[in-house]
Amino acid sequence: MEREKAVPSIKVAPPGPNALKWAQFHKMHAAHSTYFYDFIWDRSKPARGPFCTDVDGNVIMDFVSHVASSPLGYNHPSLIEMAKKISAVDPDRYAGTDFIGAFGEDPIDSPIPTPSHLHHKLMEISQQFGFDTAFLSNSGAEAVENAIKICYDYRRNLGYGFCFYGAFHGRTLGALSLNRSKKVQRDWYPQIPKIVEFPFCRCQEGCDCGWKIYSIRRKGMISRLAQTIDPDIGIIDPEEVAFIIVEPILGEGGYDIANPEFIREIADTAHREGIPLIIDEIQTGLGRTGRWWAIEHFGVIPDIITSAKALRVGATIGKSTVFPREERRISSTWGEGNAISSAVGYKVIETIQEEGLLQNAEEMGNYFLSGLRELQARFPVIYDVRGLGLMDAISVETDDLRNRLIRGAFQKGLLVTSCGFESIRFLPPLNVTQREIDIALNILEDVFSEVVS
């Protein structure tokens, strides 16, 4: 497939007969989940950049990037070459917190990056925070689980945790206890105790989300966080709080960008009171917003960052002073031992550096947002356009309209997905081109013309 000439092409209206066969085959024994059964990517057929081929021969332009986990799109040559070099060794996953896996006699001259090298690479892109330690795991949820375990160990107090409305931090029970994006994610599951939630302030002018309130006892207008831990009127002593966790941009919760003052107050409060601040960058990190980490847009220094998706492994990153020094406090059979994914994750970072993709994400993100705003001017059912870099979204009037637009776009060969309750999110690869964005915008314009008129 020549990426420079590729365009979406629908030969058989999806879902085609082969897609239906594969979906039925999969459903027979797979647990029900969040599958979009219309899109079944054929791994044996051509794919490059944002373009892939489905099982019925349709060429689809993927502006979801597997929910940010394929930041360079499909079949980037550097990643394919890296995976081929290491895939002949088995086991590719090993007990990495029990045994260190090397490749060659000298780590400095190793032809293949190992999990050890990925640690060094992560410190390279996190030096602005003074980080020097990471723990690698299998997923974003595990990265969050380890982050809160590290904080519980570090604080050794009554274990209060603060999170925010709209949050999504994963689906394991500990991470799930912090979720506030959708009720269905938490119904009937037990929760870890002492989790307190606050409004996530996305307000642009003034504040009407509930984050700021007029407090009693002559405190004036203060935040809910300030009220909760205030020495005069608060109900929780800061010494009792183990961590604060927040996404700089809500992911599953709707792609809402945090108000900078809101984020800075959280950080200032955390640092003043000695409360570890966890920034969840599982979807926003590794260049998605035009910076290595989205929190850099806010001028805030976190204590811990959680990463995954684009990195291909989970990572809990911070300063060694926060991490446990006692053996067996954090561990995992496959933690630190995912050889192929760690090597590819290393190569993802290196490719972003070598190809200048932070700048491309910023420039193409601005170009895409400009096009989405032009679309909004034509179709007033779009009531909000927002984004940083190549993490962008639009909101429409109802979730039914949103779903019809997503289906309509897919019928024309553009894959996008939902977030929040009536929003469409866009996650093109970090090396997306202006030509590819124009194709997406043209499809969106056609779909809005058909669905809204």
Alpha-carbon distance 380 to 94, whole Å? Answer: 54
Higher pLDDT, 417 or 221: 417
Residues contacting residue 69 through CB under 8 Å, at least 6 positions apart: 308, 309, 310, 312
Over pLDDT 70: what percentage of the chain? Answer: 100
Which pLDDT value is given to residue 264?
98
Q: Is the pLDDT of residue 216 over 80?
A: no
Torsion of CA 400, 383, 202, 145, to 10 degrees: 30
- Cα–Cα distances in angstroms (integers) from residue 110 to residues 107, 158, 254, in the given order: 5, 46, 42
Q: What domains, with CATH codes, occur in the chain?
A: 84-354 (3.40.640.10), 356-453 (3.90.1150.10)
Bridge partner list, 304? 278, 318
Residue pointed to by tokens 């030509």: 435
Residue pointed to by tokens 């420039």: 363
393 and 249 in contact (C-beta within 8 Å)?
A: no
Which pLDDT value is given to residue 301?
97
Alpha-carbon distance 140 to 246, whole Å? Answer: 14
Which pLDDT value is given to residue 453?
74
Q: Point out the least confidently predicted range of 15-19, 158-162, 186-190, 429-433.
A: 186-190
Q: Is the pLDDT of residue 89 over 90?
A: no
Q: Residue 314: pLDDT band by 50, 70, 90 thresholds?
A: very high
Bridge partner list, 423? 395, 419
Q: Residue 428: pLDDT band by 50, 70, 90 thresholds?
A: very high
Q: Is the pLDDT of residue 306 over 80?
A: yes
- Average pLDDT, rounded, for the chain: 95
User: pTM, whole model, 2 decimals?
Assistant: 0.96
Which pLDDT value is given to residue 215?
76
Alpha-carbon distance 275 to 376, whole Å? Answer: 42
Give the count of alpha carbons within 13 A of 280, CB side only: 31
Alpha-carbon distance 413 to 110, whole Å? Answer: 42
Q: Is the pLDDT of residue 448 over 80?
A: yes
pLDDT per position as a tens digit, 239-259: 999 999 999 999 999 999 999
Backbone angles phi, psi at 26, to 5 degrees: -70, -40
Which pLDDT value is given to residue 244?
98
pLDDT per position as a tens digit, 319-347: 999 999 988 899 999 999 999 999 999 99
Structure tokens of 329? 């406090």
Alpha-carbon distance 35 to 106, whole Å? Answer: 44
Packed helices 357-378 and 434-452: angle between N→C axes, nearest 10 degrees: 20
Alpha-carbon distance 422 to 65, whole Å? Answer: 20
DSSP secondary structure code for residue 108 in this structure: G
